[in-house]
Amino acid sequence: MKAEARSALAGYGLVAPAVLAAVAFLYIPMAVSAYWSFTDYNGVDAPQWTGLANYSDLAGSDRFHQAFTNTVVFTVVGMSVGPALGLVTALALNQKIRMVGFFRSVYFLPVTTSLVVTGTVWKMLLNENGVLNSALGLFGLPGHAWLADPGTSLLSVTAASVWQGFGFETVVFLAALQSIPKELYDAANVDGAGFWPRFRHVTLPGLRPSIVFVFVFGLIGSFQAFDQMFVMTRGGPVGSTTTLVYYLVERFQELDLGAASAVAYVLFVILAALSYAQLRASRERA
Amino acid sequence: MGRGTRLAGGGLVAVLLALAGCGGGGAGRAEGTITVWDYYGGSTPIKPVIAEFERANPKIKVKYEAYDYDTMREKYATAVGARTAPDLATLDMTWISTYAATGTLADLSKLSGGKINGEPVEGQYARGALAAMKYKGRYVTALYDFDAYALYYRRDIFKKNGIAVPGNWEQFKAAVAKLAATAPSPGKQRFQVLPDTFHFAQFLFQGGGEILNGSGKSAFAGPAGIGALTFYRDLLKSGGVYWGEDQGDTSGMPGIKDGRIAMFLNGPYMMGVLKDGAPEQKGKWAVVPAPVGVQQGSYLGGTGLSIPVTSKHKAAAWKFAQFLLRPEQQLLVAKQAGAAPATTAALNRPELTAPDPYFGGDAPFKVFLAAMTTARPFPYVKNWTDVDKAISDGVTAALLGKKAPDRALGDAAREVDGLREG
């Protein structure tokens, strides 16, 4: 018994720092933030309880609706194109081709680069006098203000984000592809299965855990997008690239900490619900 | 999808502010170590004079910290909540409304006793500047440099093409059109059109309009505002270049360097930007008063020296602020940073009214000093940033042809009038 108690005590001692850190820097601030979301608080004066006023303001705010819609569009487009591009690239790199290592490094390189750097580079590519319009001009095609036009700004920022991030999906999918037993493909070949049946019945089931991982991780990342909008468009023009987190930061800059906390909790609930739904769906399929 | 540094929604606000402690404190004695936050960057006129101040005031030490403009805004907001704000900070005048309305700025009326360096505050600034420094009748900042708009134009191009320097709106439109029409290649020699509230306000004020009325409701969408925005849009159509966020910073330096921009409306800080960024264009630029509509007018902004309410060394911080407002230190604002000092004593010094070779022997500071006398600050309301955003989005939509000026401003007015005051 004494040895067991000592062992248990040692166990608690080992996990204590991590638990204390989580409580101090995650759970207590989360609880405080939850409280602030029901108050009018500017960081200086004492918070004034306002009940659901911050949440009802968000529900009636066109700016918040726009930020929410922009975030959804950014997520849907990005999470459709990014993983698809990553999968196609992974399938290509999984073949026996020369310089595979080089190509893997090239595709993964943007992932290691700061979003601020890639955002700046893409801003230079896409501005009205940028490289893209110059290239179009060589073919006699008219240029376009990709980032200055509210109709194309969000998709332009999304394109930059997809480019920056799809190397991550590529590497994840590639690792998963290489872990699928070769015998399964051999068996499928014996059965006379072509490319599509092999992909559908062998590759895709083998990739399922990775796909779930990529989508959960990507979804969380997409809903928290901020850096690229800050660098490329400052949330404009006309709010066309303002995301939920961008909106949150604006509230924070305005010392409207109650509203900022309410936005944070809306975001938290959305992400928790989506992540739970995805994980549950993947378990049911498994 | 991209996965760089993410701002984790709930955690961010909470973590930054959870450690908030107790602060406060009165003015106290003028001694101790004061922390100064400065966003001027490499050309700061503040850092070089610290040693001199410390020699003259041995009981005060200055801990200087430099931040860029954007970082300053983020950091100041965070620091106020966490009670870690500095003792003195350079704050953009457009931020003052929020910080004053939320009670984060010390009452300088009380701290100063109505005097700067022993002289009444009222005698040291122009009327518009004094208005900009007050919130609800109390001084909350001391203007350090000021911003009011005048017209910059390429003197050599105007002369070569026989373009008359515009004095009113009609002539302005004609000059913009002729400038573009005589360009050596398409897209060159344009008037820079910035889609923001600052430039819209230039035309709004000149047209006799105002942004908010006395009760804080929108007033910019009336006939004067619609006329102003329509005129601004027409300038763009006549021969302007739209200068959106994608073009880089608002100074337009890339366009100035490559010949796209030959005329723009901006503040005195652009004198320094031009000299640093385009030394090869020395002698080619001139500055004249902005072409007049119904009346003279400009927004008035700049940099204020502010003392956060949480400072524990307010008296020492105010002493340093006063030191920075002496004429000899104010001259450094022009010499070091290329901006315009705010006090009239400094602006009238011969060093600033002497001919400037970069501007063909003119004395542009005189133009800006005159502009300051009729300039006025943006309204001091708590949610000014939301008002500003609504207006600038309306201006952008009209300039991009997405909405007619009346609809663009009408939509913005509805948004402004629907903002929750608090």
Backbone angles phi, psi at B343, to 5 degrees: -80, 145
Q: Note whether B268 contacts A: Cβ–Cβ < 8 A.
A: no
Q: Taking CB atoms and an 8 Å limit, are B402 and A264 in contact across chains?
A: no
Per-residue pLDDT tens digits for B13-65: 444 333 333 333 345 677 899 999 999 887 899 999 999 999 999 999 999 99
Q: Are B142 and B119 contacting, i.e. CB atoms less than 8 angstroms apart? A: no
Average pLDDT, chain A: 89
In a domain, A124, yes or no: yes
pLDDT at B5: 34
Query: How large is the average pLDDT for residues A159-167?
Result: 92
B55 touches chain A (CB under 8 A): no
Farthest-apart Cα atoms in chain A, separation: 85
CB–CB of A62/B43 below 8 Å?
Answer: no
What single DSSP character describes residue A25? Answer: I
Dist CA A225 CA B4 (whole Å)? 9
pLDDT at B156: 96
Coil, helix or strand at residue A129: coil
Residue A264 forms part of a structural domain: yes
- Cβ distance of B18 and A26 shorter than 8 Å: no
Tens-place pLDDT, residues A186-240: 888 888 888 888 888 889 889 988 998 898 889 989 999 999 999 999 998 999 9
Chain B nearest-CA residue for A157:
B2
Residue in B80, B98, B396 nearest the CB of A236: B396
Tell me the chain B residues in contact with residue A217 when contact means C-beta distances shorter than 8 Å. 3
A-chain residues near B254 (CB < 8 A): 129
| CATH number of the domain residue A193 falls in | 1.10.3720.10
pLDDT in tens, A76-132: 999 999 999 999 999 888 887 777 778 888 888 888 888 889 999 999 899 887 889
Note whether B1 contacts A32, CB cutoff 8 Å.
no
Kind plus residue range of the DSSP H or E element containing A144: none
Is B74's Cβ below 8 Å from some Cβ in A?
yes
Q: Which residue in this structure is represented by tokens 């739209």?
A: B242
Number of domains observed in the structure of chain A: 1
Nearest CA to CA, how far is A190 from chain B (Å)?
38
ipTM comes to: 0.79
Cβ within 8 Å of A, B 359-418? 383, 385-386, 389, 393, 396-397, 400, 402, 415
For A73, the token pair is 């569009």
Q: Say if A2 falls within a structural domain.
A: no
Q: Which two tokens stand for residue B372?
A: 């300051």
State which residue of chain A sits closest to B393, comparing Cα positions. A238
A164 to B6: CB separation less than 8 angstroms, yes or no: no
The alpha-carbon gap from A2 to the nearest alpha carbon of chain B, in Å, equals 40
The partner residue sitting opposite B9, judged by closest CB among A218, A227, A267, is A267
- Smallest Cβ–Cβ distance between B98 and the set A129, A145, A254 belongs to A254
Report the gap between the CA of B248 and the closest CA in chain A (Å): 9
| B13 in contact with chain A, both atoms CB, cutoff 8 A | yes
Quote the crossing angle between the two packed helices A257-285 and A204-223, to the nearest 10°.
170
pLDDT at site A270: 92
Query: Can you give the residue ranges of every domain in chain B?
Result: 24-147+301-347, 150-299+378-417
Instruction: Write out residues in chain B with pLDDT < 50, as ranges.
Output: 1-26, 422
- Give the integer Cα–Cα distance in Å for B232 and B222: 15
Quick check: A255 and B77 CB within 8 A? yes
**Closest Cα of chain A to B390: distance in Å?**
9
Residue in A82, A128, A218 closest to B247 by CB: A128
pLDDT of residue B80: 79
Tell me whether strands B150-154 and B261-266 are parallel, antiparallel or unpaired. antiparallel
The parent domain of residue A278 ranges over 59-285
Q: Which residues of chain B does A149 touch, with a Cβ-Cβ cutoff of 8 Å? A: 400
State which residue of chain A sits closest to B104, comparing Cα positions.
A44
Coarse DSSP helix, strand, coil percentages of chain A, rounded to the nearest 5 percent: 75, 0, 25
Q: Is any Cβ of chain A less than 8 angstroms from the Cβ of B22?
A: no
Q: In this complex, which of B13, B18, B195 lies closest to A252 when CB atoms are compared?
A: B13
Would residue B68 be called left, alpha or beta, if left means φ above 0 and alpha means ψ between -120 and 50 degrees?
beta
Q: Which of B70, B246, B258 to mutate to test the interface with A (most CBs of A within 10 A)?
A: B246
- Chain B residues in contact with A44 (beta carbon < 8 A): 80-81, 102-104, 309-310
CATH architecture of B150-299+378-417: 3-Layer(aba) Sandwich (3.40)
Please enumerate in sequence order all residues whose Cβ is within 8 A of that of A210, keeping only pairs 6 or more positions apart, or say none. A172, A173, A175, A176
Domain topology for B24-147+301-347 = D-Maltodextrin-Binding Protein; domain 2 (3.40.190)
> What is residue B401's predicted lDDT score, i.e. its pLDDT?
93
pLDDT digits (tens, 9 = 90+) for A131-155: 899 899 888 888 888 999 999 999 9
Mode of pairing for the β-strands spanning B142-147 and B340-341: antiparallel
Identify the residue among A25, A41, A44, A269 best suited for mutation to test binding to B, counting B beta carbons within 10 A and taking the highest. A44
Give DSSP secondary structure letters for B75-139.
HHHHHHHHT---SEEEEEHHHHHHHHHTT-B--HHHHHTTEETTEEGGGSS-HHHHHHTEETTEE
Q: Do B244 and A147 touch (CB under 8 A)?
A: yes
pLDDT for position B422: 45
CB contact residues (below 8 A), chain B span 103-132, against chain A: 103-104
Q: Do B402 and A217 touch (CB under 8 A)?
A: no
Query: How many Cβ contacts (< 8 angstroms) between chains A and B?
Result: 192
* Chain A residues whose beta carbon lies within 8 Å of the beta carbon of residue B74: 253
User: In this structure, is residue A40 part of a structural domain?
Assistant: no
Q: Tell me whether B168 touches chain A (CB under 8 Å).
A: no
User: Are A29 and B14 an interchain contact pair (Cβ–Cβ within 8 Å)?
Assistant: yes
**Fold match, B24-147+301-347 / B150-299+378-417:** yes
Q: Do B246 and A145 touch (CB under 8 A)?
A: yes
Contact A245 B9 (CB under 8 A): yes
The pLDDT value recorded for residue B381 is 84
Shortest CB distance from A147 goes to which of B245, B389, B397? B245
Do residue B81 and residue A255 have CB atoms under 8 angstroms apart? yes
Q: Which of B327, B298, B350, B348 is nearest to B144 (CA)?
A: B327
Residues of B within 8 A of A130 (CB-CB) are 246
